[in-house]
Amino acid sequence: MSETGGPPGLVAIITGRGALPREIAEARAKAGLPYLLIVFQNCFEDWMGDHPHAHHEFERAGAVFREMRKAGAEHVVFAGAMNRPKLRPWRADLKAAGLLAKAIRLLGKGDDAMLRGFAGIFEAEGLTMLSPVDILGGELLVKAGLMGARGPSDQDKADAARAADIVRALGPLDVGQGAVVARGICLGVEAIEGTDLMLARVADLPPERRATAPAPSGVLFKGPKPDQDRRMDLPTVGATTIQAARAAGLNGVVVVAGQTVLMEGDATRSALDSTGLFLYGAKEDELADWG
């Protein structure tokens, strides 16, 4: 590995939406290392035009792998949010036709199982799967301890521990990476909709549903599922998460330190300052003690 930017060989970036793929592309460009954005339908954003990129369709797997071989790709990384595609079998090329039944099965699984399966498809083509951390380094991850001026109260810690227990219990079912608990009451569990929409649901709860846990109270907890493949889909927090947690009437956010991606650190710190919420990176043993 180079000191920054990841390995020297060309990295194919399977590019979704959000800040993470852009950070990876800019890190590779800054380090003078080769890379190629693989952009599927409905995922193109304006910034991508400033980087080497190729547009592809999910159903044209043969074209995707030919493009990567032609570019000399040695590694692949998944980065950014991407909706599960609605496959169009009539568009499939020969390679995709051979993979279609497997792809349909994978799309019916939880996120971790699905991503492991798709990673296996790329690895079968001789590519090495990387984590975003392999390219951006450990600075990408939330450190242990507090961000923001205000820390969690004893009640917040107890709520975070209960939310962590909920995420851990659902982990074997491959459901979500987050939960919201307020004064011991579970207000929301992340499923296919993702964190932001889960928090929006919490924000829309009628007052009678929060009668014993009125806002402001409660904590969003995010952490990886047990045995999750850490190369893909690590839990992520950022300024948007903080603003959404504020709109949901929460006191703060607790994540697993060293296993959660922090996006746009400066903007996140500003969001903490403006909202008065906290962001705390908890170690596993801390969460156990809080419970």
Neighbours of 23 (CB within 10 A): 19
269 compared with 172, residue with greater pLDDT: 269
What confidence tier does 1 reach under pLDDT thresholds 50, 70, 90?
Answer: very low
Calpha distance 290→19 (Å, rounded): 32
Q: What is the CA radius of gyration of the chain?
A: 20
**Structure tokens belonging to residue 210:** 């929060």
Q: Which alpha helices (DSSP H) does the chain contain, by range?
A: 19-31, 61-71, 94-107, 111-124, 132-136, 154-170, 195-203, 239-247, 265-275, 284-290
Q: For the chain, how are helix, strand and coil distributed in percent, rounded to 5?
A: 45, 20, 35
Please give the biggest Cα pair distance in the chain: 61
pLDDT in tens, 129-163: 898 999 998 888 999 999 988 899 999 999 999 99
| Residues whose CB falls within 8 Å of the CB of residue 20, separated by 6 or more in sequence, listed in order | 79, 80, 132, 236, 261, 263
pTM exceeds cut of 0.85: no
Calpha distance 73→76 (Å, rounded): 8
Q: Is 91 a residue whose pLDDT tops 70?
A: no
pLDDT in tens, 2-52: 456 889 999 999 888 888 899 999 999 999 999 999 988 777 889 999 999
